[in-house]
Amino acid sequence: MGKTDHLGTLVQWNDERGFGFLDPGTGPRVFAHIGEFKAAGRPRTGQRYRYTREVTGEGKIRAANIRATGFQLPRAWFAGLICLSAIAAVFSLAEAALANAYSGWWYLTVSGLSFAIFALDKYKATRDYSRISEAQLLLLTLAGGWPGALLARHLFRHKTRKQPFRTLFWLCVIANTALFSLLFTLPGEQLLNDLLAHLANST
């Protein structure tokens, strides 16, 4: 078959196994494997894609050179921007004496560790090696490594859709942000002290 471009909508996707089907609108659905997707980020059902068709050795039609239509800013870029912005914000608070002086270095170090651990777990997953437990990954996230973990998840396409990990990940991000704000920033410490003083006076 020729290399004519075709348009299709991804109507079915198995993220664990890395394949799905594109619906061209007319005719049968076309098999699509993760290795043929050129767009950054995980394939999304409902998204329109441009592709060419190939015939396998068994005579079946499959999609090749699959590209998302329209402008697609890679999600890893957003994750990287959030990662850098979060760490820079902590350093800025520390520089302005509004947060613990070592807060920025803590987030930078733990984020680097989280990035490496998530990358290692992805490597192990692709080779069927013994995996790093999700509890350990979430503990690093809760400890302040979420900026690096967020970047690794989208850069390596690792655990970006798996539930309940995805929900637990964001709960850890929220919990860490709240704990940092209350315990390691000057406004948070003042708020916490006022609250404790009010509770003490009311008893």
Q: What is the per-residue pLDDT across 49-68, written as a single tens digit (0 to 9) for each?
A: 999 999 988 888 999 999 88
How far, in Å, CA of 14 to CA of 33, rounded?
10
Sign of CA dihedral 47, 52, 153, 75: negative
How far, in Å, CA of 164 to CA of 137, rounded?
13
Domains and CATH numbers, the chain: 6-68 (2.40.50.140), 75-202 (no CATH)
Q: What is the per-residue pLDDT across 98-146, written as a single tens digit (0 to 9) for each?
A: 999 999 999 999 999 999 999 999 889 878 889 999 999 999 999 999 9
Q: Where does the pLDDT of residue 42 fall: very low under 50, low under 70, confident under 90, or very high at 90 and above? A: confident
How far, in Å, CA of 79 to CA of 84, rounded?
9
pLDDT of residue 111: 98
- Please name the helix (run of DSSP H) or strand (run of DSSP E) that holds residue 8, with its range, or none: strand 6-14
pLDDT of residue 194: 83
Q: pTM of the predicted model, to two decimals?
A: 0.68
